[in-house]
Chain A
Amino acid sequence: MVRVGSFIFSLFFLFQVASAQTFVQGKALADASLKEKAVWMEKLASDDSEEATRILQYWLDGILVYWPQENRLVRGIKEGRRYQLQDLMTEEALGAVSSREIDRVKTNNSLRSALKQVLGSRQLGSSDRNVRLSAIAELKRRPDYKVLPLLKKREASEQDDQVARQLSELIGLVLLESAEANDQMEGLRRISGGLSPEVKDSLSRFLLNPNLDPGVVEVAQRELDAITRSLMYWGIGQDLFFGLSLGSVLLLAAIGLAITFGVMGVINMAHGEFIMLGAYTTFVIQQWIPATSMWSLLISIPTAFVVSGTAGIILERLVIRHLYGRPLETLLATFGVSLILQQLVRTVFGPLNQSVVTPDLLSGALDINAAFSVTYNRLFVIAFALCVLVTLWGVMQRTPFGVRVRAVTMNRGMASSMGVQTQRVDALSQLTNVGPNLGQSYIVDSFMVVVFGGVGNLFGTVFAALSLGVANKMLEPLSGAVLAKILILVFIILFIQKRPRGLFALKGRAAED
């Protein structure tokens, strides 16, 4: 109706404006209430022209705006406090205006998910398999019986194995919406073995239906039980991975402390603040180099190393050196330093958190199956912890420098900078926001790891970090995060009573201090 009505209108303008819009109710759409917008969306959904698709897509992306001056819909991309306008179809630039001069076509959650559904069914025929996959994923969220014929048609022509599998599962979910027992059985057959939340969700909802055939119910219940069971096993695997990644973070935070505290007997309360300095270094570097590129990270790692290392050497020269052999004074002095560093950072960078952006390469997750996926940044942390560990071990075992450190001879300055070296590296791998209080959250955990693992023992530290990480993550679903932390602390206190020197006590000087 919309198109027919405006057909003559657009013909009329064809000679003046090359890209005359056929959809002329832009103002009505922008002014509509969210409920009325749903009606507009239905209308647009029944129109399969390129223009309607674009309108729906830009609407979903939040860049569809109504431009009263020319009485039409355009693409409006926000830049600073102004909007860059572009023609809907030709994407020709139309100049920049302030937000006051345009009306954005708003959305909310329900509209957004309906839009995704409509666009999903349009994108099923895309030539890009990733687009097809994401369209299928979108349709799975709300299986709709109406799209069944379309899906069946697609299935017949689908070449890609993975897409075909996903499509079959989607058809299974859609068939569950049918009232026919045969269709339902066919649906159950198709989704059998699926582990995604959508399958479990649809199946649970399916079983709530009171008008089911008893035979169907039996099969469905069996499927659901099987899914629940395998989800539980995968859940344990997932918890293990979470624990491993938490353990790696703990390891990176504690390894520096293990050296300064363990090998040299220096209790450095400012350890956490060195982590913070490293994190802020990354932040500063991201102001200069596009944060989403991997380069910013690759440059940050050595720079943060130098910054924290220098801070470590300065601390050693100015404070720790003069207090050698007086552990209590060292503790108090370094605690003072930590407060000074916190306030310094707060004064320079402001009290607000600053955002450190994860490079694109490290965002997202690797899906092993629907129930088990590992996020790239966690994977990176684990790999990075491993690298640091191997390097450190190599240095400690194979170089004269390492031998000197191990022998805990006179050169504590170098040893300190050595310890500091590892401290800041972990800050980078955290890849989250940085704030002035960042350091504090690490210090307690780090001490816990060092004490548990045995003073002055690298492998004790590794073992302690990983086992504490895994234990924490396994306990969390059972007892809640707060109780899990308490339980771990209580365990360590009891453990220390039994074995005051930790898990792997070193025989020799360092442990005796």
Chain B
Amino acid sequence: MQTRSWKRTLQSTIFASAVGLSISLAHAADTIKVGVLHSLSGTMAISETTLKDTVLMMVEQQNKKGGLLGKKLEAVVVDPASNWPLFAEKTRELLEKEKVDVIFGCWTSVSRKSVLPVIEELNGLMFYPVQYEGEESSKNVFYTGAAPNQQAIPAVNYLIDELGVERFVLAGTDYVYPRTTNKILENYLKNLGIGASDIMINYTPFGHSDWQTIVSDIKAFGSAGKKTAVVSTINGDANVPFYKELGNQGMSAEDIPVIAFSVGEEELSGFDTGPLVGHLAAWNYFMSAEAEVNDKFIEAWHSFTGDTARVTNDPMEATYIGFEMWAKAVEKAGTTEVDKVRPALYGTAVPNLTGGTAVMHTNHHLQKPVLIGEILEDGQFEIVSATPGEVIGDAWTDYLPDSAKIIADWTAPVNCGNYNIETQQCSGQNF
């Protein structure tokens, strides 16, 4: 259990903003501008502030190495304040007024959907670092988080193969990511021969705080003679009371394990993980991954924030990979011009933090390993399973009949984000 001292938070906030300030003060005549589009206030600030700090750290490190193409990097930080339409306005501001060369940003799918029309109109370049529901591939966005086949599907396979689960509760917050993911999972499970009576789907509003009935329902659903597991796409603040209620009602991981797609080290740092030991999460990265490059990253993060209690998480790794790839592609292309950097990104490989290599594919998704972790007493994860090789992100899932025939490929001859292989046509509409 880690309770961070608020003084330290204050210090690191001041430190981080001081770094941001000094970077903008150091604004030389000729710099490469890096836009940071993460909410620093409002509901999503809890998650997104960390990613802003990650980008600032990456910029600082790159500048120490001498910048890019002989120029210094300059971070331009804006605050879209968890307000979805504001994301579009801030994107416009970054591209038209600040003339940034690349944007790192967004967390929720709805904010990304709001950015898409603007970034496509102005031909910008954005790296999106969060696991999401897929069903999208924009020419101007690179998705460094997991697609459903890089998180949800392997997680369910683990439950079935390793834990012998036969009955599933799909619990989620009521918005686009959980709904789409659960639709994919439901189809996938039914294809495997799991009956509709063995699948329970439950949605709750954002910030749901009273979980008593739902947890006792899950308990009842789980006592029907078959091994049961919960697949949780519950997002944000609602997770805290949910896990607390699991502990209160004595639902341990050995009875009914919960596998979560939106709970990582950062979320766990907010609460007492004692009763949660053994519950699971599926990600492409865990802080506990044993690799030299991970140790270095954690060390750099601690010295950047000035707080050795700060944790690292999967979206941070995705941000790291995105940044490294962009830097590599810029050097390869010799320019920051979007139309030259984009093709240079295809096939770019950078080491990921878990010891393997991440490669960018022409559908704008990454090839990454999938890890399953169990929660430990100290809020970290024990990696209990890893896919044998890396999994290639699939923009359009194979488990929904309509999406199965659609592919994304941004190189000739297809050159399209949603190409229908049956009609051989590109709808051209990505959002």
Binding site for B on A (CB under 8 A): 34, 62, 78, 81, 106-110, 112-113, 116, 141, 197-198, 200-208, 231, 235, 238-239, 242, 245-246, 249, 284, 287, 343, 346-355, 357-358, 363-365, 373, 375, 377-378, 432-433, 435-437, 440-441, 472-473, 476-477, 480-482, 485
Contacts and interface: CB of A to CB of B under 8 A. Distances in A.
* In the complex, the 10 A-B pairs of residues with the closest C-beta atoms, listed nearest first: A204-B225, A350-B9, A205-B225, A197-B223, A353-B270, A351-B45, A113-B254, A242-B212, A481-B204, A201-B223
B224 A485 contact: no
Chain B, interface size category, equals: 35 or more
Interface stretch (B21-29, B70-78, B375-383, B414-422): B375-383
Given A62-B376, A354-B3, A355-B270, A432 B240 contact: yes
B281 to A, nearest CB: 13
Contacts, number: 168
A231 B224 CA distance: 13
Given A109-B257, A482-B203, A348 B224 contact: no
A441 B209 contact: yes
Nearest to A106: B382
B30 interface: no
Contacts of A346: 41, 45
A109 B278 contact: yes
The binding surface of chain A is classed by DSSP as helix
Nearest to B224: A204
Given A238-B216, A432-B244, A480-B202, A349 B6 contact: yes
Contact of B210 (A200, A239, A246, A375): A246
A311 to B, nearest CB: 18
A480 B237 CA distance: 19
Given A375-B249, A435-B46, A482-B205, A141 B254 contact: yes
Nearest to B372: A108
A264 B371 CA distance: 57
A200 to B, nearest CB: 5
Nearest to A339: B41
Contacts of B163: 109-110
Interface string B229-265: 0000000010011001001111001110100000000
Interface in B187-239: 202-205, 207-210, 212-214, 216-217, 219-220, 222-226, 237
A231 B223 CA distance: 12
Given A346-B45, A352-B4, 16 more contacts: A109-B253, A109-B280, A109-B374, A112-B253, A112-B254, A116-B254, A197-B223, A201-B222, A350-B9, A353-B240, A354-B4, A355-B3, A364-B248, A375-B248, A473-B210, A481-B208
Given A197-B222, A348-B10, A482-B174, A112 B278 contact: yes
B412 interface: no
B31 interface: no
A355 B271 contact: yes
Given A435-B46, A441-B207, A353 B237 contact: yes
A165 B341 CA distance: 72
A482 B9 CA distance: 35
A352 B9 contact: yes
A130 to B, nearest CB: 15
Contact of B203 (A109, A432, A441, A480): A480
